[in-house]
Structure 1
Amino acid sequence: MQKKENHDLLSKHLVENSIALQKASLQLIESSTQLTKRIDKLVSIFENASSHIAEVELNDDKFKNLAVKLENLLDQNKEIARGLLLLEQYIRSKTSEPKTSFEKPVTEFKF
């Protein structure tokens, strides 16, 4: 009878340990699932950030190109303004009209 009780007690402990092991395995699986979901969210955040950075870099390149074009346009406008001022001075010097009191001298623009 002693052997049977020991066997039953051993079986009971084995079943309890097996159940405890299954619970621990289940908790581990749930934790792994949660970790996987969090890692997926983190990866999606990084993907969104990288696409946003790529857009910003493209926009920066567009802004740089636009800034270069605007600077070129500004330089062209300065040259045109200088040319117009020189043309005005030339025309004034070639006309032999006497200057009236209301005429102002040509102001020079500095660019």
Structure 2
Amino acid sequence: MPGTRKLGRATDSRNAMLRAMVTYLFENGKIETTVTRAKEVRSMAEKMVTLGKQDDLHAKRQVFSYITKEDIAKKVIDEIGPKYADRNGGYTRIYKTGPRRGDAAEMAIIELV
């Protein structure tokens, strides 16, 4: 698991949250979340795109095991991976948007480049 941020959650809860957020990012193209969560999502999303670029069975199985929706995993392998075939990393971008109204947590938008 990349990164060392615990995000105030137990390990299994944190992993489930990150899997869901990565799936939602690939489904919609961008999401709004806190800066620390966005940085964790970025590391896993970039790993999934890198696996989607590879054309072997093991990489495909790793993508299908991490992303929670089968059609989104297929999209990563068939569309998103080949789209970034000539790019060496940097598949996502994080914009800071300012503090959240309720608790002043620093918010950000993470999107696919």
TM-score (norm 1): 0.22
TM-score (norm 2): 0.22
Higher strand share: 2
Higher RCO (CA-CA < 8 Å; seq separation 6+): 2
Higher helix share: 1
Please identify the structure whose Cα radius of gyration is greater: 1
